[in-house]
Structure 1
Amino acid sequence: MATTNIWQQFKALIPEGVRVIATITANNGNGTSQAELRDGSIITVKGETVAEGQKTFIQNGEIKGTAPDLAQYEVNV
C-alpha cells in the first residue's frame, strides 16, 4: 500500500547510506579492494570491479561503480 505521507515519499527518493569517492590502490583477489580516501586514509571495501588507480563510488563499504576523474578544488569561505 502506498503511503500518502509526503515526508515518507520524499525520503524514499533519497538513497540511504553515505556515498564517497576514493581511489583504488589494490585489488586483494578475495572479493575486496583497498581504497584511499581524499584525506589519505586507507579502507578495505567489498568488490573488485574497478582497476587500480581508478576512482570509484563507495556506498556502505561496497564499490558501486567507476567515478569520473575530475579536478578537485578547496575553497575557504
Structure 2
Amino acid sequence: MTTANIWQQFKALIPEGGRVVATITANNGNGTSQAELRNGSVITVKGESVAGGLKAFIQGGEIKGTAPDLAQYEVEV
C-alpha cells in the first residue's frame, strides 16, 4: 500500500540508525570485531570484513565497509 503522506515517503529514503566511523582493533574470528569509537569506547560489532587498524563505517551494530583515513578536526562554535 502506497502512502500519500509526503513525510513518510521522505523518511523511507533515509536509512534507519546513524552511521559512525570507528577504528577496528581486532577481528574475533567468530564473525564479530572489536571497534574503538572516537570517544575511546570499545564496542563489539558484527562482521570481519575490515582488518584491524583500519577505519570502518558502522551502522546498526554492523560493519558496512571501509572508511577513508582522513584527518579529524574539532571546532567549537
Give the TM-score of the pair, scaled to structure 2: 0.96
Please tell me the residue identity of whatever aligns with 1:16. E
Identity of aligned residues (%): 84
Residue ranges of structure 2 left out of the alignment (5+ in a row):
none
The reply on whether 1:12 has 2:16 as its aligned counterpart is no
Q: Which residue of 1 aligns with 2:33?
A: 33
Structure 1: unaligned runs, 5 residues or longer: none
* Superposed CA offset, 1:45-73 (max 9, x none): 00000001110000111101111111110
1:1-77 superposed matches below 5 A: 1-77=1-77
1:9-45 CA-to-partner distances (Å, cap 9, x unmatched) read 1101111012111000000000000000000111000
Root mean square deviation, CA, Å: 0.7
Superposition misfits of 4+ residues, deviation over 3 angstroms: none
Cα distance in 1 between the residues matched to 2:68 and 2:13: 23
CA distance in 1, matches of 2:30, 2:59: 19
- Cα distance in 1 for partners of 2:6, 2:41 equals 39
What is the count of residue pairs matched by the alignment? Answer: 77
